[in-house]
Amino acid sequence: MPAWFLIRKGGDFQEIGRKHHIPTAAARLIRNRGAVTDEDFELYLRGGMECLHDPALFKDMDTACRLMADAVVSKEKIRVIGDYDIDGVCSAAILLKGLRRLSADVDAVIPHRVHDGYGMNSEMIRKAYLDGVKVIITCDNGIAASKEAALAKDLGITLVITDHHEVPYEESDGVRKYIIPDADAVVDPKQEDCSYPFSGICGGMVAYKFVSYLYNNRMCGEDFSDVYSDTKFMDELTELAAFATVGDIMELRDENRVIVKRGLELINSDPAPGIKELIEASGLSGTKISAYHLGFVLGPCINATGRIDSAQRALDLLTENDHENAMRIAGELRSMNESRKAMTEEAVKEAVEQVESGEFEGMNVLVIFLPDCHESIAGITAGRIRERYGKPVFIVTRGEEGLKGSGRSVDSYNMYEAMNEVKDVFTKFGGHAQAAGFSLEEDRLCEMRERLNANCKLTPEELRGKLMIDMELPLGYVNEDLLAALELMEPFGNGNSRPVFAKRNILLTGISVMGQKRNSARLRVVDDNTRTEMVLFKKLEDFEKQIAEKYGEDVVKSLEENRSVAVEVRFAAAYSAQWNEFRGVKKIQMAVEDYIL
């Protein structure tokens, strides 16, 4: 279990609340999320689209857009090359819709996860050449494509790279030399000499900025600003940028918070056909869509196409203007996601069996070989195993050529840098601090495992993890006013987590088991003079096991049967609070995030 830490950021919260017209509790909670100055609080609370950073600050943005404008005006054939995850698909949709709106001769290609692998490859460049493509623009990929950029140049194809991933580098004597592809323009906020003020954006946001700059600046004698003034069309691109931001797990701060907040407003009022029909197919009609729904319900349907079949179908959905066609495609995506879930459960079960066998004892980095696991679900499986064991996880599968895999990391372990330290092991790799993809020869798998673990310097404290507590709060203080304050802080997600409160010495008086898997429960509790309920999701087995070890099996049985017990069972809870609506009834729900018995 993680160590609990109470956040102690100072401030005159009453004065902050008065100045910004918010409750004192909201002032304290927003301060906990890094707001310091009046400007910080205003951006957090009321930042609108006017607060987005100027796209002109990107290195190469002007060059990239002039090249594209020239291609549009000259009617040269343009090809968008995206990627098979939600960010790559949304990015491609933004560019494709954006360029089509200018009547460009443009199409889009999404790599096939199994046959093509991640991002642009040499075969795709050659195919583009044979198809008469004059300009290629990448999105959510390309920054590591130096070989492909050289091929494009040899074939006379103009190449514009838009990406957000880390720039590859070579390190010698502690000095890093960054390797930038020799493309005609490279737009990536992670470049060392890029002056864009916020590098934590996704590929979809980079594409959104590209289109915005293209529309707002007169280029090649053409003025595209009338398109920018088409509010409904730009709103559709905003929805896609928001979807990509949440789906790619970007931190919801700075302009990411602005775009997601606005995107959710649009999705909840008049969404584009593709998103509207995906909401319907997912059984969410009439539900207020939140960042949670984007990330954990709708997003997986987009990702499922790239895992089970081809992500081209997801691109078709997000660029479709006809509701009937969109409804049919959305149904297909929903079915694919159900198949993906079943495959994932099987892979997770096999991975857990390997870990529990003791094969990885003493290892802080888990490199798990699942030869029969479909490579498309390696990342999801790695994430599930990381959540279970609190360690960096690499899931390795057998691909068509050699081995392929995906990794998911913990906060204290930079996965990309760790892989870069042993890069000679891989035939190809790339990613972020928290997630990565790679390929390698099968005879180097053991070496990969050994060297990553030999280099790993994680301490037991770092592996244990941290749970940040916003404040100690008696359960009786959770009321409508507090939830109204929390609503000011939405949308919640990575980088803007839902507040977590803590209370000690809660008396447990009953357990009502919930769910088909019987791994969740409603807990009847008493805190001071407040009798109420809390919910515990997916942790009931461990919770009851600890009670049994401390008080006896008969106490667990009595609590489940709502009988009185001879001892007082008390625990400390870290919990979150929100509204829960079921069958038209709206109630306050306090969810136990962690506990100490």
Domain coordinates of the chain in residue numbers?
Answer: 55-263, 271-343, 358-464, 466-596
Confidence of residue 7 (pLDDT cuts 50, 70, 90): very high
Strands 106-109 and 78-81: parallel
Structure tokens at 453: 């673990």
* Mean pLDDT of the region 89-103: 97
Q: What percent of the chain has pLDDT over 90?
A: 83
Length of the chain (residues): 597
What does the pLDDT read at residue 386?
Answer: 95
Cα–Cα distance for residue pair 466/412, rounded to 1 Å: 10
SS (H, E, C) 373-399: CCHHHHHHHHHHHHHHHCCCEEEEEEC
Residue 565 neighbours by CB under 8 Å, 6+ apart: 551, 555, 558, 559
pLDDT at 65 over 70: yes
Fold type of domain 466-596 = OB fold (Dihydrolipoamide Acetyltransferase, E2P) (2.40.50)
* Mean pLDDT of the region 48-76: 96
Residue 478 Cα to chain centre, angstroms: 29
| Residue pLDDT, tens place only, 224-257 | 777 767 889 999 999 999 999 999 999 999 999 9
Which residue spans within 260-380 are E strands per DSSP? Answer: 366-369
What does the pLDDT read at residue 499?
Answer: 97
What does the pLDDT read at residue 516?
Answer: 83
pLDDT at 220 over 70: no
What does the pLDDT read at residue 345?
Answer: 93
Fold type of domain 358-464 = Diaminopimelate Epimerase; Chain A, domain 1 (3.10.310)
| Residue pLDDT, tens place only, 344-362 | 999 999 999 999 999 999 9
Structure tokens at 543: 């919770």
CA proximity to 493, closest of 259, 304, 323, 324: 259
Which amino acid type is present at position 474? Answer: P
pTM above 0.75, yes or no: yes
Cα–Cα distance for residue pair 23/25, rounded to 1 Å: 5
Average pLDDT, the chain: 94
* Mean pLDDT of the region 137-146: 96
Range with the lowest mean pLDDT among 262-276, 290-304, 305-319, 462-476? 305-319
Bridge partners of residue 533, in order along the sequence: 524
| 55-263 belongs to CATH 3.90.1640.30 | yes
Strands 403-408 and 366-369: unpaired
pLDDT at 114 over 90: no
* Mean pLDDT of the region 161-167: 95
pLDDT at 584 over 80: no
Which amino acid type is present at position 201? Answer: I
CA proximity to 474, closest of 573, 586, 543: 573
* Mean pLDDT of the region 138-157: 96
Confidence of residue 26 (pLDDT cuts 50, 70, 90): very high
Q: What separation, in Å, do the N-terminal and C-terminal C-alpha atoms of the chain show?
A: 12
Q: Which residue has the tokens 């304290």?
A: 28
pLDDT at 442 over 90: yes
| Residue pLDDT, tens place only, 545-569 | 999 999 999 999 999 998 888 899 9
* Mean pLDDT of the region 365-391: 93
Q: Which residue has the tokens 């997770």?
A: 348
Q: Which residue has the tokens 């180097």?
A: 444
SS (H, E, C) 308-336: HCCCHHHHHHHHCCCHHHHHHHHHHHHHH
